[in-house]
Amino acid sequence: MKVLVTGNGGREHALAWRASLGESVSQVYVAPGNAGTALEPNVQNVPIAVDDFAGLADFAKSEEVGLTIVGPEAPLVDGFADYFAERGLRCFGPSRKAAQLEGSKAFTKAFLKRWDIPTAASETFAALVDAKAYVRECPMPVVVKADGLAAGKGVIIAQTLAEAEAALESMLSGAAFGDAGRCVVVEEFLRGEEASFIALCDGRTTLPFASSQDHKAAFDGDAGPNTGGMGAYSPAPVVSDAVHARIMDQIMQPTLKGMAAEGSPYLGFLYAGLMIAEDGSPKVIEFNCRFGDPEAQPVMMRLKSDLAALCSAALDGALGSQTLRWDKRAALGVVMASGGYPGDYATGHPITGLDAAETPDCKVFHAGTRLTRESLGPTSGRSPGAKVDSFGDPIPRSGDLGRGTVLTNGGRVLCVTGLGGSVTQACEKAYRGAARIGWHDARYRSDIGYRALAREAGG
């Protein structure tokens, strides 16, 4: 089967790489991909944007793609899976209606209440005067969330009433996030440890991946602004067997049941962002309708099963008979970012040390990278089926291509992912790899996995 993965981040590199190793898979395409997917054996980039529904559908038809896996959330919220289904194309991802679990926090909070699924107490408002009256009664800190997609920036944890009021004003006026902020959720601040719980879903059955945990804050000690995620590891020790059972019983299964009962059966990756309280009780912070980034990198590093065959089984409603096989070792990924991220940063810097960092226990997943046009030597003529870079230009076989020709092209650039007998050992492998890689103004956190490391050290 030919597989198409849409997106260009580290998550998509990890999904495409894992899919390419499956027995059921003859070829993986990534649209549009990055330098990492371009250099991966059996993976080919195609220069089509993730929101070009018609272009992607035409490509999937003409190349006889048997399965499309959607990386990012926005196309799913905009109905990508419906568009493919209407054209008889097999796409693993939730319908527009089911993707509301990520697309609208107001929808999700109402859904969770209807089905008695544990989550922070909240109220939803469209009118500023009502929202302001409500926050005046709330204990601080309080959490203010824009209803719609806001690229991970729509959540304000207000320490004071003045901060909460300012957040409400900027969101409800439309100034902060446009229409995504015209309705807000005001929510109780939860304490505990966060975990990411991601599952394959076929509308009825939930098949969970190994647990994981990411670090959203930019700087060591979980300080500084929120980012897309500066590192992640799997398994997350906070998700003990008992906690795992509670998450399945109280959150994942009721969610699948509720969505099906409401006429939007959930098919695709379902990512529950959870807060685990000290007593082990889980609450939903948010749902995402796609895999996590950077959680995908350590989780895919550990997965042994044929990913595309599993997604295909889900499309046939047959996940119930499937199991997942895992590398028993732990994996930990360190995100290397451009200096300045998540604020302004420069791109176009050559990256060195990529080959030196790769070992059997360490893989470098790419996110914001691209290959230089100049690296295409005179021997790299266009030929049918040749790999193309993000400009649509042919890419020489990896043997012809010096690794020095990979350039930075985004905020999060790489995720260096190690495997080891414990999270501590995986962490050492990842940092050893990261230390070999460099570019002008590269930066990364030095404490990824610190909670798991403390648990493993008995602290």
Q: What are phi and psi of 209, to 5 degrees?
A: -75, 170
3-state secondary structure of 325: coil
How far is it, in rounded angstroms, from Cα 115 to Cα 259? 10
In the bound complex, what is the minimum distance in angstroms from residue 154's beta carbon to ligand AMP?
7
> What residues form DSSP beta bridges with 408?
369
Are 266 and 101 in contact, with CB atoms under 8 Å apart?
yes
Is 288 among the residues that bind ligand GLY (CB under 6 A)?
Answer: yes
How far is it, in rounded angstroms, from Cα 21 to Cα 300? 11
- Interaction mask 279-318, ligand AMP, x per CB under 6 A: ------xx--------------------------------
Q: Which does 143 bind (CB under 5 to 8 A by kind): ligand AMP, ligand GLY, none?
A: ligand AMP
Residue choice 71, 94, 231, 292 for contact with ligand GLY (CB under 6 A): 292
3-state secondary structure of 397: coil
How far is it, in rounded angstroms, from Cα 382 to Cα 302? 36
Give the distance from CA 1 to its chain's centroid.
24
In the bound complex, what is the minimum distance in angstroms from residue 192's beta carbon to ligand AMP?
8
In the bound complex, what is the minimum distance in angstroms from residue 359's beta carbon to ligand GLY?
25
Radius of gyration of the chain (CA): 22
Nearer to ligand GLY, 13 or 90 (CB): 13
In the bound complex, what is the minimum distance in angstroms from residue 217's beta carbon to ligand GLY?
12
3-state secondary structure of 245: helix
273, two tokens: 């962002």
Q: Which does 47 bind (CB under 5 to 8 A by kind): ligand GLY, ligand AMP, none?
A: none
In the bound complex, what is the minimum distance in angstroms from residue 151's beta carbon to ligand AMP?
10
Q: Which does 155 bind (CB under 5 to 8 A by kind): ligand GLY, ligand AMP, none?
A: ligand AMP
In the bound complex, what is the minimum distance in angstroms from residue 157's beta carbon to ligand AMP?
6
Residue type, 92: F
- Interaction mask 221-250, ligand GLY, x per CB under 6 A: --------x---------------------
Nearer to ligand GLY, 168 or 367 (CB): 367
Binding span for ligand GLY by CB under 6 A among 108-116, 166-174, 292-300, 417-425: 292-300
- Report the run of H or E that residue 5 belongs to, with start and end: strand 2-7
Q: Which does 286 bind (CB under 5 to 8 A by kind): ligand GLY, ligand AMP, none?
A: ligand AMP
How far is it, in rounded angstroms, from Cα 15 to Cα 17? 6
Spatial CA neighbour of 354 closest among 364, 362, 343? 364
For the chain, the distance separating the N- and C-terminal CA atoms, rounded to the nearest angstrom, is: 48
Helix 161-172 to helix 128-136 angle, to the nearest 10 degrees? 160
In the bound complex, what is the minimum distance in angstroms from residue 293's beta carbon to ligand GLY?
5
Q: What is the DSSP string of 139-176?
A: PSSEEEEESS--TT--EEEESSHHHHHHHHHHHHTTTT
Is 33 among the residues that bind ligand GLY (CB under 6 A)?
Answer: no
Bond preceding residue 350 cis, omega within 30 of 0: no
Maximum distance among all Cα pairs of the chain, rounded to whole angstroms? 70
287, two tokens: 């749902």
285, two tokens: 């912070």
- Report the run of H or E that residue 135 belongs to, with start and end: helix 128-136
Is 120 among the residues that bind ligand AMP (CB under 6 A)?
Answer: yes
Give CB contacts under 8 A, 24+ apart, made by 375-378. 375/401, 375/402, 375/405
Q: Which does 189 bind (CB under 5 to 8 A by kind): ligand GLY, ligand AMP, none?
A: ligand AMP
Spatial CA neighbour of 42 closest among 30, 28, 22? 28
In the bound complex, what is the minimum distance in angstroms from residue 273's beta carbon to ligand AMP?
5
Residue choice 15, 106, 143, 357 for contact with ligand AMP (CB under 6 A): 143
Alpha helices in 262-387 (DSSP H): 296-302, 307-315, 354-357
What residues from 151 to 210 belong to the interface with ligand AMP (CB under 6 A)? 155, 157, 187-190, 194
Is 10 among the residues that bind ligand GLY (CB under 6 A)?
Answer: no
- Interaction mask 208-237, ligand AMP, x per CB under 6 A: --------x---------------------
Binding span for ligand GLY by CB under 6 A among 177-185, 256-264, 289-297, 425-433: 289-297
In the bound complex, what is the minimum distance in angstroms from residue 329's beta carbon to ligand GLY?
21
In the bound complex, what is the minimum distance in angstroms from residue 214's beta carbon to ligand GLY?
4
Q: Which does 208 bind (CB under 5 to 8 A by kind): ligand AMP, ligand GLY, none?
A: none
Are 214 and 207 in contact, with CB atoms under 8 Å apart?
no
Is 1 among the residues that bind ligand AMP (CB under 6 A)?
Answer: no
Nearer to ligand GLY, 11 or 429 (CB): 11
Residues of this chain that interact with ligand GLY (CB under 6 A) are 214, 229, 288, 292-293, 295
Residues of this chain that interact with ligand AMP (CB under 6 A) are 120, 143, 145, 155, 157, 187-190, 194, 216, 273, 285-286
